[in-house]
Structure 1
Amino acid sequence: EGVPQNHAKAATLYCKAAKMGDADAQFFLGWMYANGRGVSRSDNIASYLFTMAAKQGHEHAQKMESYTKKISASLSFPSCASKIPLQQARNGGGVTYPNDYIFKLVTKLAPLYEVDPKLVMAIISVESGFNVRAISPKNAQGLMQLIPATARRFKVKNTFDAEDNIRGGIAYLQWLLTFFEGNVSFVAAAYNSGEGTVKKYNGIPPYPETRSYVKKIRKLYKKQTHPYRPHVVGG
């Protein structure tokens, strides 16, 4: 006799693999959420997972347009795929990071653009929770949640490649720091809502999402101003 099926256990295993970026796991877990097998049915979660897999070239996931068009702004995620928060160290309140590899990439790349690595890590924490495969309802992708237009603007070829994504995100931060003359709150607001919106309101826009975002960044990055390169933004 075969081994009895345990859909709940399978969902847990698929979820862990999906978070690590396995496209097959993302697809099969999406199927389980679409059909309510081992998990409570959720078209939103299924849509998110199918989209993640499709972005990696998964053939079957790319055919699930009926689901991938359903992504909404009120997505909820499986607990094992939820964002990983920064954790406070026990030795006096310093910040520790859940992924040494990402931290090493940031500390390697940020100085090349004269951007504080701590600001970059704060952005990554709030944007993606250090999830390399993160995709937002607005199709922002990867660690620093670059939308396709921003990725093209800063010559990012693969938004799901950690180094490529971080490099593009830091280049964008460098540009924003110059544009807003080192004002960290304005830079954070622009990273969330676009530099045009911040310029329109001559400050942080009155959007609850953006104001909340800025508070989260400022909680992790205490400096109000940041050095900037005057020549980065043309006149």
Structure 2
Amino acid sequence: MRRPLAIATAGVMLAASLAMSATDARAGKLYYYVDEEGGFHFTNRPSSTAYSVFAVFRNFPDKSRDEIMRVVKRMSRRHGVDSNLVAAVIEVESNFEPDAVSHKGAQGLMQIMPATGKDLGLKKPFDMEDNIEAGVKYLKEQLSRFGDNALALAAYNAGPKQVERYDGVPPFPETRQYVQKVLSIYKRLKGGKP
């Protein structure tokens, strides 16, 4: 048996044993990447965008939504941002998955790009508290800069320079849909109040 195939087989066996040994009632993911020598590396908390999803499991330990919301409320109070808006951003950005990584490389619950995270002093992008605090700080910066939820959300998604360039929400379909979706969830979380 060739080495990469043997390693892949071992990885499948590892994944299966992790799935069988997990006892929590939530779902989770196992990630992997293949190094230059053909070696497989597995984790449930990817440290870079080199990792891809290997398997999705039920009964895999994860942070509960209630635990995440406690941190959201604390960080929102600390930085003067509506916690319902922060929760809406998290729902759209990562669907409350602390280890989420986008195809563009955004990381964690609030899907912070590595360069933005560096500017915000974010050292552990997959740490729930650090990620939420950095995301809330960045959202607060955009709210202060633009003075409007829709524009701040557009800046969060497309970048503040794009909002300035177009003097409003940029005409990108992804950004327009993002703003609409976050504001819709925000309204629902506030009990339908504008």
Q: Taking structure 1 as the reference length, what is the TM-score of the superposition?
A: 0.59
Identity %: 38
What does residue 19 of structure 2 align with?
13
Residues 1:102 and 1:13: Cα distance change in structure 2 (over 3 Å)? same
Whether 1:197 and 2:189 are equivalent positions in the alignment is: no
Q: Taking structure 2 as the reference length, what is the TM-score of the superposition?
A: 0.71
Alignment of 1:1-235 (within 5 A): 10=16, 13=19, 20=28, 25-27=30-32, 55=47, 68=50, 99-181=65-147, 183-222=148-187
The answer as to whether partners of 1:52 and 1:135 remain within 8 angstroms in 2 is: no
The answer as to whether partners of 1:126 and 1:216 remain within 8 angstroms in 2 is: yes
* Superposed displacement of residue 200, structure 1: 0.4
Pairs aligned (count): 163
Larger RCO (alpha carbons 8 Å, 6+ apart):
2
Residues 1:209 and 1:154: Cα distance change in structure 2 (over 3 Å)? same
Please give the alpha-carbon distance, in whole angstroms, between the structure 2 residues aligned to 1:187 and 1:20: 31
The unaligned stretches of length 5 or more in structure 2 are 1-11, 35-40, 59-63
Please give the alpha-carbon distance, in whole angstroms, between the structure 2 residues aligned to 1:134 and 1:162: 11
For residues 44-103 of structure 1, the C-alpha deviation after alignment (integer angstroms, 9 at most, x for no partner) is xxxxx97976517xxxxx9xxxxx49x8xxxx996769xxxxxxxxxxxxxxxx610000
* Superposed displacement of residue 12, structure 1: 9.6
- Which structure dedicates a bigger proportion of its chain to strand? 2
Residues 1:158 and 1:179: Cα distance change in structure 2 (over 3 Å)? same
3-state SS of the aligned residue for 1:26?
Answer: strand
Please give the alpha-carbon distance, in whole angstroms, between the structure 2 residues aligned to 1:169 and 1:189: 14
Please give the alpha-carbon distance, in whole angstroms, between the structure 2 residues aligned to 1:53 and 1:167: 19
The ranges of structure 1 where at least 4 consecutive aligned residues each deviate by more than 2 angstroms after the TM superposition are 7-14, 49-54, 76-81
Please give the root-mean-square deviation of Cα atoms over the aligned residues, in Å: 3.5
